[in-house]
Amino acid sequence: MRIRIHRPSDPESLRASDSPLEIDREILSQGIVWGELFGTEQPVELEIGCGKGLFLTRAAAAHPEVNWFGIDHSSAHLRRAIDRALKARLSNALFSKARAEDLLGGWIPEGSLRAVHILYPDPWPKKRHHKRRLLGLERGTETMRHLSRVIQPGGWLSVATDHSGYAEVIGPVCDASPDFERSESIYSQTVLTDPEEPLTEFERKYRLEGRPRHLFTWRRR
């Protein structure tokens, strides 16, 4: 993969908007150099579909020793996440309007992530849309192959969903990857002081509707 060397003397060239926390996806597409994006060499955790950023901003505040990268393909959601991180004055959180497929498919260097979080991915409840599920029967094997490339040995993948039908598919699809093994949930030790607290904005909404939380963690072998 071709790696672009970002010039620290020109940090503005990395930015996608007038926000200091939003990275231009064109920069990402040329090969990500995490240390240069963040300006610090720390472990990196990626959240795919970070939505309005409740999880990522809270995790970044609780763990300044980790660099947190959130992506979402919805500008409206991402804007809210960035505003939240700016308000919290976080220096270890960055965002980009990007698609998971592009990042996982090549922009992220091999073994460069400590963890990937996929919290409440779109469940695509209609049968004819199941093929769009990131961790569904059609696309899940490829997604897991990409995740095993980018997550370092000993790192982890965490997934949450409120959709029981999707949860029944996510479990076996991820278990089928020879590179991952099931592990205890990491959240109670890392982010949440109260395990009953909602992890994300969507979870907060789903709780009020009485929907369940299916939470999985896999450890990269």
Query: Tokens representing 184?
Result: 């205890």
- Contact with ligand SAM (CB under 6 A): which of 92, 140, 201, 216? 201
Provide the token pair at 169: 């598919």
Q: Is 72 in the site for ligand SAM (CB under 6 A)?
A: yes
Q: Which residues are paired to 67 by β-bridges?
A: 44
Task: Record the tokens describing residue 97, joined without a space.
Answer: 């309007």
Secondary structure (3-state) at 26 = helix
34 binding ligand SAM? (CB under 6 A):
no
**Cα–Cα distance for residue pair 173/170, rounded to 1 Å:** 5
Q: Does 58 bind ligand SAM (CB under 6 A)?
A: no
| Residue span binding ligand SAM (CB under 6 A) among the ranges 17-25, 28-36, 43-51, 178-186 | 43-51
What whole-number distance in Å separates Cα of residue 68 and Cα of residue 52? 14
Structure token digits, residue 122: 């779109």
Instruction: Figure out which of the listed residues 46, 49, 69, 112 binds ligand SAM, where binding follows CB under 6 A.
Output: 49
Main-chain phi, psi angles of 201, to 5 degrees: -60, -45
The C-alpha atoms of residue 145 and residue 143 are separated, in whole angstroms, by: 5
Sign of CA pseudo-dihedral 7, 42, 92, 101: positive
Where does this chain touch ligand SAM (CB under 6 A) — which range of 5-13, 14-22, 24-32, 116-124? 116-124
The distance of closest approach from Cβ of residue 1 to ligand SAM in the complex, given in angstroms and rounded to an integer, is 20
Active site residue 122: yes
Name the CA radius of gyration of the chain, rounded: 17
Task: Given the residues 10, 18, 83, 122, select the one marked as catalytic.
Answer: 122
Min CB(18)–ligand SAM separation in Å:
22
Q: Which stretches does DSSP call E strand in 35-139?
A: 44-48, 67-72, 93-97, 113-119
Piece of the chain touching ligand SAM by CB under 6 A; list 108-116, 168-176, 194-202, 211-219 = 194-202
Q: Is 100 in the site for ligand SAM (CB under 6 A)?
A: yes
In the complex, the smallest distance separating the C-beta of residue 111 from ligand SAM, rounded to whole angstroms, is 21
Considering the rule CB under 6 A, would residue 99 count as an interface residue with ligand SAM?
Answer: yes
Known catalytic residues are 122
What are the residues binding ligand SAM (CB under 6 A)?
A: 48-51, 71-74, 77, 99-101, 119-122, 200-203
